[in-house]
Structure 1
Amino acid sequence: MKKLLIPFSLIFATVWLAGCQKDLERTNINPNEPTAVQPDYLLSNGIKANVDTYWGSDATMETSLLYIQYWAKIQYPDPDRYIPATTNIQTVWNNFYAQGIADFTKLAELGDTLHNPNYKAVGIIMRSWIFQVLTDLYGDIPYTQAGNIDKYLTPVYDSQRVVYRGLLAELKNAANTISPSDNPILGDSLLAGNMNGWKKFANGLRSRIALRLADRDPATAKAVFAELAAEGNFFLTASDREVKLNYLTSPNQNPVGRNRETRNDYRISKTVVDKLKALNDPRLSIYAALPADTNAYIGVTNGLSADSASRLGFSKTSDVGAAFTATQAPAFVFTYAEQLFILAEAAQRNLISGNAADLYAQAIRASFKQYGITGTQVDTYLAQPAVAYDANNYKKSIGEQKWLALFSEGLEAFAEWRRLDYPQLKPAYTGALQGKMPLRLTYPSSEQALNGANYKAAVARQGADLLTTKVWFDMY
């Protein structure tokens, strides 16, 4: 057998190259760029990126704000006619999963690594909020296998019931993990490091999800409120900071404000303007802007054809108010008013003790105060027969007033309108769904291509992958 002779020069060159590689690796280390992820940076970036998605073009301006008839399109009206762009649907899914679920799963893991339970709790709470938004929008979604792409490249879809129940357990554990007196966190642009605020946010989400379950699974809904009562009903109060992101100037501006820097396809919907006018609601001057050519608030009918919408004119119709379109307009995620509406409905359903009518009136007052309206204006408003609480049709009373109060939270309003069936909206004027309205977003095309088997199983269980297919919580 012949021996293989390797020249000494080749051996020397190999060793020399290996040494050079190690030297290059040492030389190219940037001392100013940490290799370990910093939890404060991860938290601040995660909050900004996901609140941007929540309030951005894809999840709100081109979809839910139009479906719930807060906004209308005056140019390029296809989305207002229920013809969403595939990129809108894909972007919402991609951003929430790739940025949101991934980032906050990592933050929760860092909480364990750094022995800081508060970072872990905040990561779980934010991740739970995103999962709640996703299942509200799409229905069945990847949940139990999501956030671990190394192990589950094609995650299964869990039923909405499983998702909600899982989130309730995660939020309860996160709330109980929080330690307000030690283990401070940094990078918190949502609640300024107030861990009691995070606990109240977690409990608010638990109460929100409990009502999502109330029609389908009343026993679980009642058990959630019983647990919250046993824990002291630790909810947002009038003196607490609401869960919101205060935007800054460019490049950290409100995404609606950023949109307005280059275009303005939108106006306030005629539906909400008419309702505010009918109730003499002082929020009209906040929700809507006066047109340049007239001294009256004029909304636009949803779903007009392109030529009909364009003939209305930008200067003769009302844009959405500056409280929502300004560069530094805050983005609300959970408010004191919403918490009170939840408690009012829970009292009406006998899920908690309390006076539903009183809580309903407090919720309206809190919504007005959110925009600086107090005093006799609110008293006069509440005294109107059209506003008075009707226990025999509480879904109408709460549904209509909650719809008005949630004007700054289009995605949550879209979910609550489907659950309560009030206000009773009319489909877009030239809508493309044969007289029906959207009840969900369709799954993105990438799921059909890359996760086909699990996608098909979800569709077989939930129903056709259409805008008009009801999600599980939407019982009526």
Structure 2
Amino acid sequence: MKKIYKPVAVLMLGLSLFSCEKIVEDLNVDPNNPTDAPANLILTGTQLSNVVVQEGIASLLVSIWSGYATGHDRQWRDYANYNITSGNFDSEWNNVFRGTVNNARITIDKAMMLNNRKMAGIAKIVMANSLATATQLWGDIPLEQAGQIQEYPNPMFESQADVYTKLLALLDEAIADLETGIGTVGAEDIHFGGDATKWIQTAYTLKARLLTDTEQYAAAYTAAENGISTYANSLYAPHGQIANINQNQFYAFLTQTRPGDISAASAYNVNLLDPASSTYRGNAKTDESARFLFYYRPVGVNTSGVAEPNTSSTATARGFFAMDARFPMVTYQENILTLAETALRSGMGVEQALEYLNSYRNFLSAGGYVDPTYQTTAASKYEPYEAADFAAGGIENQDGISQEDALLREIIQERYVTFYGTHLGWNDERRTRGEVYEVGLSPNAGTELPWRFIYPQNELNSNSNAPTVVPGIFSKLPIYE
């Protein structure tokens, strides 16, 4: 009986279950919340998450803490005056760890299962970019255990020094992956369409950024020599004109989400670039009029009566934050100015550093990254400097400091002006604070400038390994101590 019953019973049970399953098949599957996806789609999601990290609310906050913009109204006025709490940083932390890092790890695993080392290498660079930004803003962060919530629900925080070391190694891994030429990546790569050369150069420029942060200037120079070699190879976030879908995030915030909350009234960078300002950085060889108008809508142009970040999006005026303006993430501008600074700091001399600075000024003279609508409607001049311009009494050294310090001051200031809208200017400002060639910000309120973001409240509440003593915004990051 068993021999007859067993197969019959199993068959009948199988038919019964099959019939029931057909009725309720996919009943609990939400097509809008997939639990899995192919590697190419996850790579795109990873890149989009990183765009939010580089361009989102964190960059808006950094802009008002680093003199690019002003907190003008509502809570943004409080943020500008350094009145901010840990709860304000929850979403930005999630963008890094739940958005970029989690998806990057999945992409890497799936890519390696397919032996697609090109895709794995790209995902590693994107992850390194997000994690580098996190440590630059917060200091000690989770790294080895980050983005693996099932295995590590309470990821360990690692020292900032260790994070930098591991990120440099991760970028080396990515370069090695890309150099193999194994695997294919196409349109799913929203930045370069799978161009390995551009990604390798991006990785080297990111290495140079990290090494500059930690004042390893000779090594930073070596990395930058292999970095982004042309403007066309720069890593930008692409944007379009569809609201709530692909618009420039600054544009959306400044014109749609919270208009009036952020302006540029009396911002430090405005006064550096405005030819009418008493602290204008121009001279007989430099006219910043076009770049000023590309960055800002000046007083008298706006109904607010104050300077504002330029969101103009017409055919005759396309500002830095136009609706579909690309956002700079890792650029040729950064790389060549890193070569200029690190050449001087690592002892290569004034002439070598000046050669890089003049190469950059030549790039600006040809239009640079300024939108063509301002190149033709406003003056722009960047004549090459000579060593004598930085000697005591020269046009870039009226206060009689050393020639090397005068040149370094100009390079640091040029980096600051160029890094408008990003967190890189704040990196430099904090790194050089107190030096003779510092950026030179004054506090928005009180007597201290901030050094860091506060750890987010959600992480403090949910991660048993989060710091028990939470440093405030005026506590130095370890790399600046």
User: Structure 2 length normalisation: TM-score?
Assistant: 0.79
The 5 A counterparts of 1:290-369 are 290-291=298-299, 294=300, 314-322=303-311, 323-350=319-346, 355-366=352-363, 369=368
* SS of alignment partner, residue 441 of structure 2: coil
Counterpart amino acid of 1:402?
R
Counterpart amino acid of 1:451?
N
The 5 A counterparts of 1:136-147 are 136-147=136-147
| Residue ranges of structure 1 left out of the alignment (5+ in a row) | 1-10, 296-312
**Does 2:244 match 1:254?**
no
Contact 2:357 2:411 in 1 (8 A): yes
Counterpart amino acid of 1:425?
L
Aligned to 2:477: 471
Contact 1:442 1:467 in 2 (8 A): yes
The Cα shift of 1:315 comes to 3.0
User: Residues of 2 paired with 1:467 and 1:31: CA distance?
Assistant: 42
Higher mean C-alpha deviation, range 103-112 or range 127-136: 103-112
Counterpart amino acid of 2:369?
Q
Aligned to 2:104: 104
Aligned to 1:299: none
Aligned to 2:258: 263
User: Residues of 2 paired with 1:248 and 1:344: CA distance?
Assistant: 34
Contact 1:338 1:363 in 2 (8 A): no
| Residue ranges of structure 2 left out of the alignment (5+ in a row) | 1-9, 275-279, 283-287, 312-318
Aligned to 1:401: 414
User: Residues of 2 paired with 1:88 and 1:247: CA distance?
Assistant: 26
Aligned to 1:74: 72
Aligned to 1:204: 205
Aligned to 1:445: 457
Contact 1:286 1:321 in 2 (8 A): yes
The Cα shift of 1:86 comes to 4.2
Contact 2:361 2:383 in 1 (8 A): no
Aligned to 2:91: 91
The Cα shift of 1:85 comes to 5.3
Q: 1:31 to 1:405 in 2, by over 3 A?
A: closer
**Does 2:272 match 1:275?**
yes
Counterpart amino acid of 1:254?
N
* SS of alignment partner, residue 368 of structure 2: helix
Q: 1:366 to 1:474 in 2, by over 3 A?
A: farther
Contact 1:89 1:444 in 2 (8 A): yes
2:439 to 423, 426, 442: 423
Counterpart amino acid of 2:258?
R
User: Residues of 1 paired with 2:48 and 2:85: CA distance?
Assistant: 24
**Does 2:292 match 1:284?**
yes
The Cα shift of 1:224 comes to 6.1
Contact 1:396 1:420 in 2 (8 A): no
The Cα shift of 1:381 comes to 8.1
User: Structure 1 length normalisation: TM-score?
Assistant: 0.80
Q: 1:179 to 1:274 in 2, by over 3 A?
A: same
User: Residues of 2 paired with 1:352 and 1:142: CA distance?
Assistant: 37
User: Residues of 2 paired with 1:16 and 1:189: CA distance?
Assistant: 47
Aligned to 1:193: 194
Higher mean C-alpha deviation, range 31-40 or range 351-360: 31-40
The Cα shift of 1:288 comes to 0.8
The 5 A counterparts of 1:120-159 are 120-159=120-159
User: Residues of 2 paired with 1:136 and 1:31: CA distance?
Assistant: 38
Contact 2:413 2:439 in 1 (8 A): yes
Aligned to 2:58: 59
Contact 2:362 2:383 in 1 (8 A): no
Aligned to 2:285: none
Aligned to 2:6: none
- C-alpha distance after superposition, 1:370-424 (max 9, x if no partner): 1155999433485775557941355422221111010132x12111211122211
Aligned to 1:243: 235
Give percent identity, aligned residues only: 20
Higher mean C-alpha deviation, range 344-353 or range 182-191: 344-353
Q: 1:26 to 1:128 in 2, by over 3 A?
A: same
- C-alpha distance after superposition, 1:25-84 (max 9, x if no partner): 65659899987522222222222232123212x2022x2010001011221111111113
**Count of matched residue positions in the alignment of Structure 1 and Structure 2:** 424
* SS of alignment partner, residue 109 of structure 2: helix
* SS of alignment partner, residue 324 of structure 1: coil
Identify the structure with bigger relative contact order (alpha carbons < 8 Å, sequence gap 6+).
Answer: 1
User: Residues of 1 paired with 2:79 and 2:248: CA distance?
Assistant: 22
User: Residues of 1 paired with 2:218 and 2:385: CA distance?
Assistant: 29
The Cα shift of 1:153 comes to 0.9
User: Residues of 1 paired with 2:178 and 2:328: CA distance?
Assistant: 22
Counterpart amino acid of 1:473?
I
User: Residues of 1 paired with 2:35 and 2:462: CA distance?
Assistant: 31
User: Residues of 2 paired with 1:35 and 1:273: CA distance?
Assistant: 47
User: Residues of 1 paired with 2:347 and 2:110: CA distance?
Assistant: 37
Coordinate RMSD, CA, aligned: 3.2
Q: 1:360 to 1:450 in 2, by over 3 A?
A: same
Q: 1:32 to 1:75 in 2, by over 3 A?
A: closer
The Cα shift of 1:466 comes to 0.4
Counterpart amino acid of 2:234?
E
Q: 1:26 to 1:261 in 2, by over 3 A?
A: same
User: Residues of 2 paired with 1:328 and 1:382: CA distance?
Assistant: 35
Contact 2:453 2:472 in 1 (8 A): yes
